């Protein structure tokens, strides 16, 4: 597989953008979790809302970028910084797994399983809804 000319020269910048976005996303998530702590026997609202907002925004961002043109130049930089970095750091499926396990292991298994299934299903639905919405807007705009 041939490497495109100049790709390796830009790679540190792209990695830096992912790092920068990831730092910001992680800080945002930490602030939300600090402001909205989870109770051991309740719904971890901070994680649920964070992951749902992340799914919604990521689907919107990626669908807009797909319709804007090829994944190169500024579009690639935006995708890596905001999509992979910021939203990757913002969302937290590892915390979802830990919080689900905590609820199940403490005897609140119905809450844990409901929380897990709601998180995944609602996230998938929001992503699908935004992809569909952006596609419809692009079709209307081009007609």
CA 133/CA 139 separation, integer angstroms? 10
Q: Which residue's structure tokens are 């939300």?
A: 32
> What tokens does 50 get?
């964070």
Give the whole-angstrom CA distance, residue 60 versus residue 102. 32
Is 107 assigned a ligand-binding role in the annotation? no
Tell me whether residue 88 is annotated as binding: yes
Taken in order 11, 16, 18, 19, is the CA torsion positive or negative?
Answer: positive
Q: Binding site: what residues are annotated?
A: 88, 91
Q: Binding site for Na(+): what residues are annotated?
A: 88, 91
């Amino acid at each position: 597989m041939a490497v495109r000319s100049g790709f390796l020269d830009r790679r540190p910048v792209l990695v830096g953008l992912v790092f920068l976005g990831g730092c910001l996303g992680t800080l945002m998530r930490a602030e939300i979790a600090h402001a909205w702590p989870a109770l051991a026997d309740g719904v971890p609202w901070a994680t649920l809302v964070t992951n749902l907002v992340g799914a919604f925004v990521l689907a919107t961002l990626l669908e807009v970028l797909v319709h804007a043109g090829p994944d190169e130049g500024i579009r690639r930089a935006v995708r890596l910084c905001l999509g992979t970095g910021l939203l990757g750091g913002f969302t937290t499926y590892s915390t979802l797994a830990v919080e689900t396990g905590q609820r199940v292991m403490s005897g609140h298994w119905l809450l844990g399983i409901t929380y897990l299934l709601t998180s995944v299903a609602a996230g998938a639905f929001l992503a699908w809804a935004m992809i569909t919405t952006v596609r419809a807007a692009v079709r209307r705009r081009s007609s």
